């Protein structure tokens, strides 16, 4: 079954304690991305990755790190979590196509089930 798997689904932690949210997809997608969802703000992109070892900042990257050492995994790292990072996090993946203008996203994103993080 094609899926994007995130772990943990729920986590309560304290300020400053490093944590990692894992994301794995089994569809051989090149593109992966992390979003946070907050009331009234919708889905905001944190980081994205076009392929292995290629990552870039989204709209709200402060306080986060990512890595893409393997195609299937795209972990989100909070080195020193703060209460303003309390949120619902989603990982998503998508296929990429090569076009005359360079690699491009096909459009359809496949989302994980979400990780609800609370930082006290």
Partner 1 sequence: GENVEQHPSTLSVQEGDSAVIKCTYSDSASNYFPWYKQELGKGSQLIIDIRSNVGEKKDQRIAVTLNKTAKHFSLHITETQPEDSAVYFCRPSSRGGSNYKLTFGKGTLLTVNP
Contacting positions for partner 1 (CB under 8 A): 4, 31, 33, 35, 40-45, 48, 50, 56, 58-59, 90, 92, 99, 101-102, 104-105, 107-109, 111-114
In 3D, which of 68, 63, 83 has the Cα closest to residue 23?
A: 68
Nearer CB in complex with partner 1: 51/73: 51
Kindly state the smallest distance separating residue 16's Cβ from partner 1, in Å. Answer: 29
Kindly state the smallest distance separating residue 27's Cβ from partner 1, in Å. Answer: 14
Cα angle, residue 32 at apex, residues 95 and 18 outer, rounded to 5°: 165
* Biggest CA pair distance of the chain: 48
Residue with tokens 């094609």: 2
Kindly state the smallest distance separating residue 45's Cβ from partner 1, in Å. Answer: 6
Rounded distance between C-alpha atoms, residue 1 and residue 26, angstroms: 8
Nearer CB in complex with partner 1: 36/78: 36
């Amino acid at each position: 079954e094609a899926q994007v798997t995130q772990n943990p689904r729920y986590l309560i932690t304290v300020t400053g304690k490093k944590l990692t949210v894992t994301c794995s997809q089994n569809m051989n997608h090149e593109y992966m991305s992390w979003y946070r969802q907050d009331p009234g703000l919708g889905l905001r992109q944190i980081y994205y990755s076009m392929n292995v070892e290629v990552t870039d900042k989204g709209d709200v990257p402060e306080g986060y790190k990512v890595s893409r050492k393997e195609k299937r995994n795209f972990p989100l790292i909070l080195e020193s979590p703060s209460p303003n990072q309390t949120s619902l996090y989603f990982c998503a993946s998508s296929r990429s196509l090569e076009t005359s203008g360079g690699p491009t996203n096909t459009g359809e994103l496949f989302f994980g089930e979400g990780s609800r993080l609370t930082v006290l």
